[in-house]
Amino acid sequence: MSKTILVTGAGRGLGRTLAEQLSARGDKVIAHARTESALDGVPHEAKLVLDLAEPAAIADAVTGLGLDRLDGVIHNAGIAHIAPVADQTLEWWEQTLRINVTAPAELTRVLLPALRAARGHVVFVNSGAGIASGPKWSSYAASKHALKALADALRGEEQPNGVRVTSVYPSHFDTDMQRSVREQYDAEYDRSRATSPESIAKTITDLFHTPEDMVINELRIEPPNPLPIRARS
């Protein structure tokens, strides 16, 4: 049966791949991006054009979609500033927490009536940094730890309403963000040792077709032989 699923950050990378795979399976995609032009070439039935750095605008934007039911939302959009704590500016901290935590919380809140009506599924694309932090990861890892807390709280609250919640922790997969992170670390990058976005996307899209008598609460994904992030000597 076709499902209607909202994907944030659908303009590029994993989000675009998710939209492509969901559409290929016959699902209806509501694609989110900051600009309409970012969605050029992205398959979608409807669009949500919105800057997640402005969470106060989310409620009005979602109201414009007129959703009575929603089978799922994939919180994929995110931002990362990689630097030591000494160099992490207040602006970086506030921007990271707004986009990575506050916006998913507010978007979920606004979508909950439609998700409850469909007994839908909320998927948070987290990160290995949401499990363990390290040097230069402070603001990003803090936001991803907070995202885990949001998911855990939501799961307990919405179980009686039939809404399923999954946190996905991908690590070292081939995206622009991963390459940018390694550039900021002055570290080597080898895409042959990273998981492909197609593999990550398939794993996530499969979550929406799991049997109704089960839920996958957390899912960790790693390549078989990941290349550690280390500065070149």
CA dihedral (123, 206, 222, 80) positive or negative: negative
pLDDT tens readout for residues 147-166: 999 999 999 999 999 999 99
CA neighbours within 13 Å on the CB side: how many for 79? 20
* Span 38-48, average pLDDT: 97
pTM of the model: 0.93
Among 26-35, 94-103, 107-116, 223-232, where is mean pLDDT lowest?
A: 223-232
pLDDT tens readout for residues 90-142: 999 999 999 999 999 999 999 999 999 999 999 999 999 899 998 999 999 99
Alpha-carbon span 26 to 46, nearest angstrom: 14
Coil, helix or strand at residue 56: helix
Strand order in the sheet with 121-125: 46-49, 28-33, 4-7, 72-75, 121-125, 164-170, 218-221
Residue 52 Cα distances to 22, 136, 217, angstroms: 22, 24, 25
Instruction: Say what angle helices 138-158 and 90-97 make with each other, to 10 degrees.
Output: 20
Overall fold of domain 4-221: Rossmann fold (3.40.50)
Catalytic residues: 140, 144
- The number of residues in the chain equals 233
> Which pLDDT does position 27 carry in this prediction?
97
% of the chain with per-residue pLDDT over 70 = 91
**pLDDT band at residue 228 using 50, 70 and 90 as cut-offs:** low
> Which pLDDT does position 114 carry in this prediction?
98
> Which pLDDT does position 229 carry in this prediction?
67
